[in-house]
Amino acid sequence: MPNRKHPGRKDHESHDAVFKAFFSDAKIARNYLLHYTPEVIHQRIDFAVFQKIDTAFVSGRFGISFSDVLYETRLTSGAPARLLFLFEHKSYIPSLPVHLQLLDYLLQIWEDDLKNERPLSFIIPIVVYHGAHAWKQKAFSSYFLGLPKDWEAFIPNFHYLLTDLSRIPPEEIEEKVDTEYLKNLFLALKFARNERFALKNWPNILTFGKPFYRNDREGILLETLTLYVFNFYNMTEAQVKELNMQLPKAERDWIDAIPEIFGRKWKEEGLRKGYEEGMEKGMEKGMEKGMEKGMEKGMEKGMEKGMEKGMEKTTHAITIKTIQKFPDWSDAEVVEFVGVTEEFVEYVRRELAKKKQS
């Protein structure tokens, strides 16, 4: 059974990381709008000009968010409107009204509009939630107790769209076959709070369908989700192998091909290399202090060195891939997602910059 830890800030950040990775992909965001918003919204969107906005707006006054994602589009009528969809992810019910955080974002975006001398953007805030309890969506005016009804006109009472995964049956998520890998993400987030259901539904979460992994885009999405699933439940290699047997062959081959799963490929390569080096050094030392003892010590050091080197290569490769896929992520976000130091991220960025110049 997975060695599950108590949920906390670290859990929330891991949810945020996988959410942002998926919703930073325009096709995933488009599929969400097509299948999880009212027709009055998505039927009026011109998806031919649907694109992600790289400008970052950070809300710190009412709870820091790492996963806000902005997209820009226009109306199908061709009206010169600048529509922005703000995707905000929550894995818990905030103690303060979510309107405050959303309003903070809206004001920053409008301030940016004025600074760049363009008309005010029309913004549709969207909250995607997968906490343990159902989200009760309330009007902002309901937080002002004892207020006369006719005074509500003075409150900035805006609406936001909500997708509460705790209220959506898994069958309904799976029925939306045209949502591509959004289905897998939503199942993973939905079951992250319930270990029993999660174990029962692992095959559904990690069955991607055919074809998959046709390009780098799909590769990093599926790799991100797979690592999120295993790391969140702190699964051992034996548990992963047991899970793997429940999956279709294509998915089994996919998981076996990910070197980052426990550093398996690099570990095996390190063991082979370490064994060879250990044999050589061990035999040399064995001539002086006894063949058996020398071989044992040499093999041990060689194996350890080989494994360390292999894991370094894996971490370096993941960091490069993450920076290239999400160029707008801050160093802190890359650090949290990959699990390395900020100095290492800065070093990799310098490496990439040098390669770009040469």
Strand extents, DSSP E, 216-308: none
Question: Has residue 232 been placed in a domain?
Answer: no
SS3 for 55-123 is CCCCCCCCCCCCCCEEEEECECCCCCCCEEEEEEEECCCCCCCHHHHHHHHHHHHHHHHHHCCCCCCEE
Cα–Cα distance, 93 to 80 (Å, whole number): 36
187 shares its domain with 302: no
Based on the fold, state whether residues 276 and 200 are members of the same structural domain.
no
Q: What is the pLDDT of residue 41?
A: 93
Claim to verify: residue 187 and residue 328 sit in the same structural domain: no
> Number of folded domains in the chain?
2
- 186 plus 54 within the same structural domain: yes
Would 117 be classed as within a structural domain? yes
Same domain, 163 and 269: no
What is the per-residue pLDDT for 228?
83
Whether the pTM exceeds 0.75: the reply is: no
The reported pLDDT for the residue numbered 31 is: 93
Q: Answer whether 128's CB lies under 8 Å from 161's CB.
A: no
Angle at 352 between CA 349 and CA 353, to 5 degrees: 85
114 found inside a domain: yes
Q: Identify whether 216 is part of a domain.
A: no
169 plus 48 within the same structural domain = yes
Residue 166 lies in a domain: yes
Indicate whether 270 and 205 sit together in one domain: no
Examine the domain organization and report whether 207 and 266 are in the same domain.
Answer: no
- In-domain check, residue 247: no
Taking CA atoms, 145 is separated from 74, 103, 151, in Å, by 38, 20, 12
Please report where in the chains the tokens 């009412």 appear, as a residue. Answer: 62
Flag whether 188 is in a domain.
yes
Domain range holding 74? 9-211
Shared domain for 141 and 275, answered yes or no, is: no
Residue keyed to tokens 């325009």: 26
| Residue 295 token pair | 């071989």
- Whether 243 maps to a domain, the answer reads no
Structure tokens at 16: 């945020």
Same domain, 60 and 178: yes
Length of the chain counted residue by residue: 358
Is the domain of 281 the same as that of 181? no
Q: How many CB atoms lie within 10 A of CB 79?
A: 10
CA angle 109/112/115 to nearest 5° reads 155
Q: What angle separates helix 9-23 from helix 331-338, to the nearest 10 degrees?
A: 110
Q: Give me the tens of pLDDT residue by residue for the chain, a chain 358 residues long.
A: 344 443 444 455 678 888 888 888 889 999 999 999 999 999 999 999 998 887 666 555 555 444 468 899 989 988 777 888 888 888 888 888 889 888 888 888 899 899 999 899 898 999 999 888 889 999 999 899 898 989 989 998 889 999 999 899 989 998 887 888 899 899 999 887 776 777 777 788 888 876 555 566 777 787 888 888 777 777 777 777 787 888 888 788 777 777 555 554 334 444 445 545 554 555 455 445 544 554 455 545 554 454 344 445 556 777 887 787 777 777 877 776 666 788 888 888 988 888 887 7
Q: How far is it, in rounded angstroms, from Cα 316 to Cα 206? A: 25
3-state secondary structure 302-336: HHHHHHHHHHHHHHHHHHHHHHHHCCCCCHHHHHH
| Prior bond of 211 cis (ω within 30°) | yes
Shared domain check, 183 and 40: yes
Domain boundary among the residues 211, 246, 271 is at 211
Give the alpha-carbon dihedral of 93, 97, 98, 104, to 10 degrees.
-150
